[in-house]
Amino acid sequence: MGGTISTRPEKPWTLVYSEEFGTKAEALKREWHIKRMKSRKYIKNLIKNKSTG
């Protein structure tokens, strides 16, 4: 279980952020955008604003 060695010790995972999209293409585009930011600050703000909004 947990094939990736780098994430194996960090189980169990907790979902802290999610979004819903009408199509898979929209979801993949949004995922690409978030991953492209590569900023811990950006992702923390994204989570913070989602939970308070």
pLDDT in tens, 7-50: 667 678 788 889 999 999 999 999 999 889 888 899 899 888 87
- Residue 10 in domain: no
- Residue 6 in domain: no
Stated as kind and residue range, the H or E segment containing 24 is: helix 24-37
- Residue 33 in domain: yes
- Residue 8 in domain: no
Is the whole-model pTM more than 0.85? no
- Residue 30 in domain: yes
Say which residue the tokens 């293409």 belong to.
Answer: 25
Q: Per the structure, how many domains does the chain have?
A: 1
Structure tokens at 40: 């811990």
- Residue 52 in domain: yes
- Residue 43 in domain: yes
Rounded to an integer, what distance in angstroms lies between the CA atom of residue 29 and that of residue 26?
5
**Cβ atoms 19, 29 nearer than 8 A:** no
Q: Which structural domain, as residue segments, surrounds residue 44?
A: 21-53
